[in-house]
C-alpha cells in the first residue's frame, strides 16, 4: 500500500472532475475483498466491508462514509479529509451528505465499455437508487467513465517509475529463461521457473498465475490465453514464445518475446520465420508511428493491422494494444478495431501520459508455432516512447544470454 500515491491520485481526481464538468464522483462499494471496484486500490488502497461511499467533488471535498470500525483505517490514508462512520445504515448519512453537496451531476462507476470504470454492481446500483428515491440526486446520476479513464490513464511520475521497475524485472526473467529453456523442457516447468524468478525479485504474476506466463513451444500449444502444458516441450525447428508480465509495488508489465529453436547445424531461423518476424516488428513500428495524443485507438490498430496483412500474413483476432498500469489490462482507450467486443473504447481520444502495449503476431508461422511480440510504450506530448527495450531480431534459443534485444 502506498499512501502517498493514493493521496496523489485522489487529488488528481479533483482537477479531472473540474475538466469534465462533473460536480461529484461517488464510488459506492461493499465487501470489496473479493469483488471490489477496480478504482478502490487507487483511491483508497484498503478493502471495505460494509456499504461505503467515497465522494470527491470538483470543489475539492473528499468525503468517506464507512461502517463503524473501518473509519480509523480510512482516516489513516490521509486521502479522505472527512470520514463519517455509521452503525445501522448508510442511507441517512449518504443522502444527508449529498443534500449538503447538492451536485448537479453525480458520477458513479458504471460503463458498458470500460471494465475499470464499471465497478458498481447492479445490485448496488439498485440500492443506490432506492436510497436516492425522491431526492434530486436520483436524476443527477451519470457515468464516471470519463473521470476514471483519465485518472487511470494519465500516469504520474511515481506511477511511471513503478511500471519501469516492473519491466526491468520482466527483462531479467526473460534473460534467465533464455538459458533455462532448452529442447526437451516442458512448458509447465518453464512457466514455474519464470514465476520463481519473479518471486525471487518480490514480484507476482501480472495476471492469473496459471496463465502467466503463457508459453508456446510450437504449433500444438494453445493459442492466446492458454495454459502451459506438462506434455509439450521445447523442440528444435519450432518457435519458442512467451507472454509474461509481473506486478511489482502494485504496477504491472506485459511483454512478449520470441526465440527460434535451432536444429542441428542451423545457425539462423529459416527465411520464412525471419520474414515473419520482420513483418511483426514492422507492424509494431507502424503502430508506434501512429500513436500520439488525439489519435483514436482504431487508427493505431489499423496501421499495424494493415502493415501485417499488407505483408501477406493473416489478420490477428485481437486488439493491437491495451493500457497497462495497476492492471496488466488496464481500462480506457483500446488500440483495437471497431468490433462489438471492444465497445466504444477504440474511438476514444488517446491522452498523453498513458501507457499502452503494442502487440501482435502470426499463428503457426511456417508450421513452427506462434510468433508474436509485445512492447510497452508511453504516450508523450507529440508521439510515444518505448518503455521496453524493443526486440528487433529473432535470436536462436541458447545464444548468449542478454542478446535478445
Q: Which residues contact 15 (CB under 8 A, 6 or more apart)?
A: none
Q: Does 53 bind a copy of itself (CB under 8 A)?
A: no
Q: Which residues contact 317 (CB under 8 A, 6 or more apart)?
A: none
- Dihedral sign for Cα 14, 20, 25, 31, please: negative
Q: Does 3 bind a copy of itself (CB under 8 A)?
A: no
Strand order of the β-sheet with 204-205 is: 204-205, 246-248, 251-252
Q: Does 223 bind a copy of itself (CB under 8 A)?
A: yes
CA distances for 157 relative to 258, 278, 294, 389, angstroms: 31, 33, 21, 19
Least distance to a copy of itself, CB of residue 263, Å: 28
CA distances for 15 relative to 24, 26, 38, angstroms: 12, 15, 20
List the beta bridge partners of residue 361: 372
The radius of gyration of the chain from alpha carbons, rounded to an integer in Å, stands at 23
Q: Which three cell numbers stand for residue 139?
A: 436524476
Q: Which region among 114-122, 172-180, 378-386, 395-403 touches a copy of itself (by CB under 8 A)?
A: 114-122
Site string for a copy of itself, 271-300 (x = CB under 8 A): ------------------------------
Which of 3, 4, 69, 314 is close enough to bind a copy of itself by CB under 8 A?
Answer: 69
Q: Which CB atom, from 211 or from 285, has the smaller least distance to a copy of itself?
A: 211
Q: Does 30 bind a copy of itself (CB under 8 A)?
A: yes
Site string for a copy of itself, 149-188 (x = CB under 8 A): ----------------------------------------
CA distances for 93 relative to 10, 37, 321, 394, angstroms: 22, 21, 43, 61
Q: Does 38 bind a copy of itself (CB under 8 A)?
A: yes
Q: Which CB atom, from 15 or from 91, has the smaller least distance to a copy of itself?
A: 91
Site string for a copy of itself, 75-94 (x = CB under 8 A): -x---------xxxxxx---
Cell 529463461 belongs to which residue?
A: 177
Distance between alpha carbon 212 and the CA centroid of its chain, in Å?
14
Q: Which CB atom, from 20 or from 125, has the smaller least distance to a copy of itself?
A: 125
Which of 100, 134, 264, 340 is close enough to bind a copy of itself by CB under 8 A?
Answer: 340
Task: Report the C-alpha gap between 375 and 206 in whole angstroms.
Answer: 15
Positions touching a copy of itself (CB under 8 A) are 1, 30-31, 33-38, 46-47, 49-51, 67-70, 72-73, 76, 86-91, 110-127, 130, 207-208, 210-211, 222-227, 317-318, 326-329, 339-341
Amino acid at each position: 500500500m502506498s499512501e502517498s500515491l493514493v493521496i496523489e491520485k485522489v487529488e488528481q481526481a479533483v482537477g479531472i472532475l473540474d475538466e469534465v464538468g462533473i460536480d461529484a464522483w461517488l464510488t459506492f462499494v461493499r465487501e470489496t475483498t473479493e469483488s471490489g471496484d477496480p478504482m478502490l486500490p487507487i483511491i483508497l488502497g484498503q478493502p471495505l466491508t460494509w456499504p461505503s461511499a467515497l465522494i470527491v467533488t470538483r470543489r475539492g471535498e473528499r468525503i468517506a462514509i464507512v461502517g463503524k470500525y473501518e473509519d480509523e483505517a480510512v482516516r489513516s490514508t490521509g486521502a479522505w479529509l472527512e470520514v463519517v462512520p455509521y452503525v445501522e445504515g448508510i442511507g441517512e448519512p449518504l443522502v444527508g451528505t449529498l443534500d449538503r453537496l447538492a451536485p448537479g451531476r453525480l458520477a458513479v462507476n458504471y460503463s458498458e465499455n470500460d471494465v475499470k470504470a464499471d465497478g458498481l454492481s447492479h445490485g448496488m446500483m439498485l440500492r443506490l437508487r432506492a436510497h436516492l428515491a425522491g431526492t434530486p440526486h436520483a436524476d443527477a446520476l451519470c457515468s464516471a467513465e470519463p473521470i476514471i479513464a483519465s485518472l487511470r490513464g494519465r500516469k504520474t511520475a511515481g506511477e511511471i517509475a513503478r511500471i519501469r521497475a516492473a519491466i526491468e524485472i520482466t527483462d531479467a526473467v526473460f534473460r534467465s529463461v533464455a538459458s533455462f529453456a532448452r529442447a526437451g523442457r516442458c512448458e509447465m516447468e518453464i512457466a514455474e521457473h519464470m514465476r520463481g524468478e519473479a518471486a525471487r525479485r518480490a514480484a507476482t504474476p501480472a495476471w492469473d498465475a496459471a496463465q502467466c506466463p503463457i508459453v508456446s513451444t510450437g504449433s500444438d500449444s494453445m493459442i492466446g490465453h492458454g495454459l502451459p502444458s506438462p506434455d509439450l516441450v521445447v523442440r528444435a525447428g519450432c518457435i519458442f514464445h512467451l507472454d509474461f508480465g509481473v506486478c511489482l509495488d502494485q504496477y504491472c508489465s506485459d511483454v512478449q518475446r520470441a526465440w527460434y529453436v535451432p536444429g542441428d547445424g542451423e545457425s539462423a531461423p529459416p527465411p520464412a520465420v525471419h520474414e515473419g518476424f520482420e513483418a511483426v516488428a514492422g507492424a509494431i513500428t507502424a503502430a508506434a508511428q501512429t500513436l500520439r495524443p488525439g489519435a483514436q485507438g482504431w487508427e493505431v490498430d489499423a496501421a499495424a493491422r494493415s502493415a501485417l496483412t499488407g505483408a501477406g500474413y493473416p489478420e490477428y483476432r485481437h486488439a493491437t494494444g491495451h493500457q497497462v498500469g495497476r492492471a496488466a489490462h488496464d481500462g480506457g482507450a483500446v488500440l483495437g478495431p471497431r468490433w462489438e467486443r471492444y465497445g466504444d473504447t477504440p474511438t476514444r481520444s488517446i491522452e498523453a501520459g498513458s501507457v499502452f502495449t503494442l502487440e501482435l503476431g502470426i499463428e503457426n508461422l511456417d508450421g513452427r508455432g506462434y510468433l508474436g511480440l509485445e512492447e510497452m510504450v508511453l504516450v508523450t506530448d507529440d508521439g510515444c516512447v518505448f518503455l521496453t527495450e524493443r526486440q528487433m531480431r529473432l535470436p536462436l534459443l541458447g545464444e548468449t544470454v542478454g542478446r535478445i534485444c
